[in-house]
Amino acid sequence: MTAPIGFFDSGIGGLSVWRAGVRLLPGEHTVYYADSAYCPYGAKEPDEIVARCVFIVDFLLQHHCKLIVAACNTATSAAIDYLRAHYAVPFVGMEPAVKPAALHSLSGVVGVLATRGTFKGRLYHETRAQFAADVQIIEQPGDGLVELAEAGQTNSQQASLLLQQYIQPMLDAGADHLVLGCTHYPLFIPLITRIAGHRLTIIDPAPAVAHQIKSLLAEHHLLNTSGERARHEFFSSGKHGMLKDE
Ligand code: DGL
């Protein structure tokens, strides 16, 4: 089926998922929506996030998307149940990859970096209870990181100070895995690697999500087998200067 796959996020973070999807499925057309005017979602009330997701899903359906990827952990946490209950199109969501981290941790200590909204969600708590009951989880809200990523400051002094502050306690507690529970955070992987060296294995769920997109497309007989050259369209709700000049 030649219709596109829709991706959305509060901003550019979901591009980490989009890129993994496009690598695995190079024949698929895509439409990406960045809700930049309403970014960040992290500290917003769930109802407000649901309303934004409904607006975006309607937009993506007007663009004939055959499957929609909520390429945002915070949006998934607040809205995926509502979206699945109200729309017929298949959805793929994101949740912090606590399961593989807990399975592979040798020290039994795992760090999770996510937004406050994601930590509050049912999905995260269920996954943690189901798959990580036997490991120590260190939860760290990544306050300020989304704003820095949107401003292109992923290698700045400010980012370095924040990440040092967030990651050092995990290292001190003996964590050997770090779960990136927000799709903006892979943009900081070079900086995180500089801070943690080889002491932390970083888990970015994007490749696993790409495989899930492929399976769901196959299951619904929606894969594009036309052999056409893939088209990629990008939309945003607006320009948002989140970082004020000091
Ligand atoms: N990329 C979003 C996520 O995965 C960022 C949330 C935000 O806008 O605060 O959670």
From first to last of its 246 residues, what are the pLDDT tens digits of the chain? 899 999 999 999 999 999 999 999 999 999 999 999 999 998 899 999 999 999 999 999 999 999 999 999 999 999 999 999 999 999 999 988 999 999 999 999 999 999 999 999 888 999 999 998 899 999 999 999 999 999 999 999 999 999 999 999 999 999 999 999 999 999 999 999 999 988 999 999 999 999 999 999 999 999 999 988 999 999 999 865 444 433
CATH topology of domain 98-203: Rossmann fold (3.40.50)
Q: Is the CB of 72 under 6 A from ligand 1?
A: yes
Helix axis angle, 157-172 to 189-196, nearest 10°: 50
Most informative mutation of 94, 124, 184 for ligand 1 (most atoms within 8 A of CB): 184
CATH topology of domain 5-94+206-236: Rossmann fold (3.40.50)
DSSP 185: G
What residue spans in the chain does CATH classification 3.40.50.1860 cover? 5-94+206-236, 98-203
Q: Provide the pLDDT for residue 241.
A: 47
Q: Is the CB of 192 under 6 A from ligand 1?
A: no
Instruction: Give me ligand 1 centre to Cα 141, in Å.
Output: 11
Annotated catalytic residues are 72, 182
Q: Provide the pLDDT for residue 244.
A: 41
Q: Provide the pLDDT for residue 1.
A: 83
Instruction: Give me ligand 1 centre to Cα 193, in Å.
Output: 21
Most informative mutation of 8, 9, 185, 187 for ligand 1 (most atoms within 8 A of CB): 9
Q: Provide the pLDDT for residue 96.
A: 87
Instruction: Give me ligand 1 centre to Cα 117, in Å.
Output: 9
Q: Provide the pLDDT for residue 160.
A: 97
Q: Provide the pLDDT for residue 43.
A: 86
Q: Are 166 and 142 in contact (CB under 8 A)?
A: yes
Q: Is the CB of 39 under 6 A from ligand 1?
A: yes
Instruction: Give me ligand 1 centre to Cα 148, in Å.
Output: 12
Q: Are 208 and 140 in contact (CB under 8 A)?
A: no
Which ranges constitute the DSSP H helices of 3-97? 15-24, 46-62, 73-86
Distance CA 33, CA 10 (A): 8
